[in-house]
Amino acid sequence: MSQSQLSRHLTLLQATAINMTDMVGIGPFVVLSVVAEIMHGPWFLYAWIAGAILSFIDAMVWSELGTTFPAAGGSYNFLKESFGPRTGKLMSFLFVWQTMIQAPLVIASAAIGFAQYTSYLHPLGFWETKAVSGSVIILIVFMLYRNIETIGKISVTLWIGVLVTMIWIIGGGMTQGHFLEPVKHINDGLEFNMVFGSALGAASVKSVYSYLGYYNVCHLGGEIIAPQKNIPRSMFISIAGIAVLYLCMNISVASVLPLAQIEQSKFVISEFIQQLAGPTAAMIATVLILWIAFASVFSATLGYSRIPYAAAKDGAFFKVFAKLHPTKNFPYISLLVLGGVAFVFSMFFKLKEVISAILAMRILIQFIGQAIGLLVLSKRKGRNFMQWKMPLYPLPVILAILIWIGIFRSTGGIMMLAGMGVTLLGILIYYLKNQLKLPIS
């Protein structure tokens, strides 16, 4: 017998594991060198601190909305409810529209990064690299083609692999005796001027990408046990834990490898482990990094597959996406479509291009849009309507909006235009859909 509703089976531990495995994908391992190259000095650690601060502030927005509207789809529901009946329909449609583009980009970015790091183990040609990234996406879809209870257990197993790898990397730096040297010299030659501000903005685009996923639990709001407690807890625990791990990992690597080598390396963690423990250990570390990348694709694909489902179930997107698997009770059409688009993207794009595109496309509607929506909702319904209340409201919301605007500008002119172009195209399609009465439900 088929079910028409998702089931609440994800515990706090499982929700936190899903968040953290989404956050610690291939991102920090390939972005570490990019951030160091952009900052070009020992102060590159500030970009990782900036990413953590933004994540904490923005998580307050997600916590208020996630606990008030704990259902599948996350931002789709937040935007629809916050802006009211008329504007809310447009904003939620725009979110689903950009999700159908940027969600596969997120999945593809992790798969591309997986293939990139695989070449440390064995040199890969262009088509071999594409074959690896495509195969990762196919395997992920296969693993997610099952019920949520099983997925929650798989997530915890993958999360353990993430923690083991990070602890090994950090422990390696601590044991060699110079762990705190990068911190002692973090301000050497630093001048707080426009040049530093510009570099910090550009580097933060990359570091913020490595923190994304702290809100994944909100996309699974309809499957979380006690969402009013577990949604905020899982987000703040995830951000705090990942911030400590990222900073310690960067400090550890910088205490062993010279900055010039870090800036130019494509396999910085593998080279770090090789210098500490030899080539065999480096190979093992690379395999564990691939484990982490795989876990991230798994977690991200899981969360995103619930967004088109939620919109379709609400009558705001194509009806076929609202179908649940007849025996396993998960949105299998949504999963298959997003996986298919991600597979195509992994064949055509490079990692650096994908990272900037991801942020540019989602900042306007998802991050800035729902922060403004929270202000609108609080004024319309009153603060008592919210199931979780942030301290110092509305200051964190205003700060989040201002910082996201800065990050959007730092993605670069082409990506800014792409982000605005996707939004404008979505508005046009929404208008035509309403005027022509296109049958989507």
pLDDT in tens, 313-371: 888 777 888 888 887 778 889 889 999 999 998 888 776 667 777 777 788 889 999 99
- CB 90: neighbour CB atoms within 10 A? 17
Q: Which of 258, 173, 210 is nearest to 49 (CA)?
A: 210
The token pair at 68 is 């008030």
pLDDT score of 2: 38
Query: 3-state class of 159 per DSSP?
Result: helix
The token pair at 372 is 């403004």
Neighbouring residues of 343: CB distance < 8 A, sequence distance ≥ 6: 108, 134, 137, 138
- The answer to whether 440 and 433 have CB atoms below 8 angstroms apart is yes
Q: How far apart are CA 303 and CA 238, in angstroms?
A: 16
- The answer to whether 331 and 145 have CB atoms below 8 angstroms apart is no
Burial state string for 291-305 with b = 16 or more CB within 10 A and e = fewer than 16: bbbbbbbbbbbbbbb
- The answer to whether 31 and 43 have CB atoms below 8 angstroms apart is no
Residues facing residue 72 across a β-bridge: 220
Residues of the chain with pLDDT under 70: 1-6, 147-149, 177, 351-353, 436-441
Neighbouring residues of 287: CB distance < 8 A, sequence distance ≥ 6: 121
Question: 358 φ, ψ to 5°?
Answer: -60, -50
pTM summary value: 0.82
DSSP string, 48-80: HHHHHHHHHHHHHHHHHHHHHS-SBTTHHHHHH
How many CA atoms lie within 13 Å of 190's alpha carbon, on the beta-carbon side? 16
Neighbouring residues of 256: CB distance < 8 A, sequence distance ≥ 6: 172, 173, 176, 178, 272, 275, 276
The token pair at 5 is 């509703």
- CB 73: neighbour CB atoms within 10 A? 30
pLDDT score of 438: 56
Q: Which of 2, 32, 94 is nearest to 427 (CA)?
A: 94
- The answer to whether 210 and 58 have CB atoms below 8 angstroms apart is no
Sign of the CA dihedral with 295 first, then 404, 247, and 227 last: negative
The token pair at 384 is 């008592």
How many CA atoms lie within 13 Å of 435's alpha carbon, on the beta-carbon side? 6
Q: Which of 157, 292, 305, 159 is nearest to 223 (CA)?
A: 305
Q: How far apart are CA 416 and CA 318, in angstroms?
A: 28
- The answer to whether 143 and 301 have CB atoms below 8 angstroms apart is no
Q: How far apart are CA 422 and CA 418, in angstroms?
A: 6
pLDDT score of 274: 93
pLDDT score of 1: 34
161, amino acid identity: G
pLDDT score of 315: 80
Cα 34 from chain centre:
18
Cα 321 from chain centre:
22
